[in-house]
Structure 1
Amino acid sequence: MNHTTDFIAELIRAANGVGKLGDSEKHRLLEHAVTMIQDMRRQNVIPIFETLTDPLIPLRITAAIIHRRSNDEVKAALLEAADMIRTLKIELGG
């Protein structure tokens, strides 16, 4: 497996065990996911507009106020991030 595939698996495992994670770990995972998605978008020459319709915005907001989010909300964000990374990985031919 490569780094991207490993990280997708880590996000899914974290989502499935979100209740066992501390806020700092949840924050770290979401921030890493956002950075990875941005990098993959650049590689794929996808314009980054960062408008309110950009699916990265809710991930960033969740990461920023992680202590106010329920486990269900964090789980959904982690799974969304994993899906976005998986989709970009396919688009990049990997």
Structure 2
Amino acid sequence: MTVTTDFIADLVRAANGVEKLSAHQVSDLLDRSVDTIRQLRQELGIVPVPGKDALIFIRTVSAGAARMSQAEWHHGLLHAAEMIRDLHIVRDTGTEFRITEVEP
């Protein structure tokens, strides 16, 4: 638990200080975020909807960090922190949920 909360804090600090980071550092943090999110999802039995996965944005910022603005780094890092925080809360509270498709 402490590792996850420490990592969330690291992401928020990085987002608030992107001007001090290199593209490589941002990419590394975002790649770690993707791994953490995938692990938490697996623990919770969450299967992302193909083509609509919220990780797409984080992976895009990570892959293109050298070409993106610091504002995009900021948003990518905060988005990752939010996702990890939310999954962490769901896991730690034992919340159960079902995702179903609704016919139009």
Same fold (TM over 0.5): yes
The change in CA–CA distance for 1:32 and 1:3 in structure 2 (over 3 A counts) is: same
Q: Distance in 2 between matches of 1:16 and 1:50?
A: 31
Structure exhibiting the larger radius of gyration computed from Cα positions: 2
Does 2:13 correspond to 1:20?
Answer: no
- Which residue is equivalent to 2:81? 82
TM-score normalized by the length of structure 1: 0.94
Q: What number of residue pairs does the alignment pair up?
A: 93
Deviation at 1:23, TM superposition (A): 1.0
State the 4+ residue runs in structure 1 displaced beyond 2 angstroms: none
Counterpart of 1:26, as a letter, is V
Q: What is the aligned-residue identity percentage? A: 42
Alignment RMSD: 1.2
Secondary structure of 2:85's partner? helix
Please list the CA deviations of residues 30-74 of structure 1 after superposition, one character each: whole Å capped at 9, or x if unmatched.
0000110000000000013441x2110011011001111100011
Secondary structure of 1:93's partner? helix
- Which residue is equivalent to 2:43? 43
Counterpart of 2:15, as a letter, is A
TM-score normalized by the length of structure 2: 0.85
- Which residue is equivalent to 2:59? 60
Counterpart of 1:6, as a letter, is D
Counterpart of 1:41, as a letter, is R
Segments of 5+ residues of structure 2 without an aligned counterpart are 94-104
Counterpart of 1:32, as a letter, is R
